[in-house]
Amino acid sequence: MTVWSRDDSHLPAALRGLRLPMVAAPLFIISVPELVIAQCKAGIVGSFPALNAREGEGEHPLLDTWLTQITEELDRHNQANPDRPAAPFAVNQIVHRSNVRLDRDLEICVRHKVPIWITSLGARVEVNEAAHSCGGIVLHDIINNTFAKKAIDKGADGLVAVAAGAGGHAGAQSPFALVREIRQWFDGPLLLSGAIATGAALLAARAAGADFGYVGSPFIATHEANAQPGYKQMIVESGAEDIVTSSLFTGVSGNYLKPSITAAGLDPDDLPSADASSMNFGSGSSKPKAWKEIWGAGQGIGAVDELTDTASFVARIESEYLAAGRSLAAEFTG
Ligand SMILES: Cc1cc2nc3c(=O)[nH]c(=O)nc-3n(C[C@H](O)[C@H](O)[C@H](O)COP(=O)(O)O)c2cc1C
């Protein structure tokens, strides 16, 4: 039963007809095919970083295997459930000079005709051209209006505005300021991230002017996420006050769980900073310690109070979204 309807005809085909205006954000280490497939089957765009697929020396590229697995599984689902088809999936490319796998990964994604490409840490014309060559669209991750303009100038189709409070490499700007500045000149696909963990927050993102909410941290506390049990539990038990912002672990400012920093023997309230030159996404050497022992999360996790499966989490967001929409709409009648 459709209980809300939306004119999404202005959006690229890959982003139309979703169950909710929601895209699951790519999470380093955590987003694996099981999670992506569950997200897409639940009717929202699922995603993973290409760098999560790491094969051993001399082995067949795991990215190729994962893309085959995801595509085949979603095709099977669509044939069995023509009335509720899966949403498309997205692959995240870290476009940074230290990502030595980038060219190979682009070639694999073109071959698999990946429908949605999410690019981070650098906008490059060649990457956008590669995506377009196979019919894909590119959504580029930005933290301010200047980077947003550069990304569109270089050929990205849409933007992911990463505002304050987001997990991973968060921005510092208020979501209201960031969306407003971008919407002054850009009417294409705009996703907003930063602590969106409830249906009401998703509605707020739409009201602010974004087409979609981009949700990351809550998925860490799902059964399908590739995270240690202690990490999932820490997400359930923590809130916004337990998040600290630091550049120490990757060279770029990011948000992390304080208890994981304490557990690693550091003082979360007295961390030195690091400079961007220490960033390294090279194959097999991307300082895994930063994400394996020092756990990332955004400020929205106060809303996550149970470990659940992805389908149930998306169903909860949907019912909250509808309730929040109806309640606000009631203020405008008459
Ligand atoms: C543990 C963790 C790992 C992340 N890894 C990536 C990544 O590999 N690539 C990327 O573009 N963004 C990454 N992000 C950022 C998310 O894609 C997204 O922007 C963010 O989680 C949204 O904010 P939220 O967590 O408050 O929902 C990561 C975030 C977290 C929490």
Per residue in 259-295, pLDDT (tens digit) is 999 998 899 998 877 755 655 555 444 443 667 889 9
Please enumerate in sequence order all residues whose Cβ is within 8 A of that of 200, keeping only pairs 6 or more positions apart, or say none.
320, 321, 324
Closest-lying ligand 1 atom to the alpha carbon of residue 215: 27
**pLDDT value, residue 280:** 58
User: DSSP string covering 35-102, please?
Assistant: HHHHHHHTTSBEEEEGGG--PPTTSPPHHHHHHHHHHHHHHHHHHH-TTSPPPPEEEEEE--TT-TTH
Higher per-residue confidence, 202 vs 1: 202
CA of 78 to the centre of ligand 1 (A): 28
**pLDDT value, residue 6:** 83
CA of 216 to the centre of ligand 1 (A): 5
Higher per-residue confidence, 250 vs 209: 209
Bridge partner residues of 91 (DSSP): 48, 117
Percent residues over pLDDT 90 in the chain = 84
**pLDDT value, residue 254:** 92
Mean pLDDT score of the chain: 93
Q: Whose CA is nearest to atom 11 of ligand 1?
A: 120
Residue range 139-173, pLDDT digits in tens: 999 999 999 999 999 999 999 999 999 999 889 99
**pLDDT value, residue 276:** 57
Among 44, 169, 261, which residue has the most ligand 1 atoms within 8 Å of its CB, making it the best to mutate?
169
**pLDDT value, residue 281:** 58
Domains contained in the chain, CATH given:
16-228+298-332 (3.20.20.70)
**pTM, two decimal places:** 0.95
Tell me 189's DSSP state: -
> Which range among 128-132, 178-182, 267-271 shows the weakest confidence by mean pLDDT?
267-271
From the list 121, 93, 118, the residue with the least C-alpha distance to 107 is: 93
Residues with CB under 6 A from ligand 1: 25-28, 30, 49, 92, 120, 141, 162, 166-168, 193-196, 214-217, 296-298, 300
Closest-lying ligand 1 atom to the alpha carbon of residue 298: 26
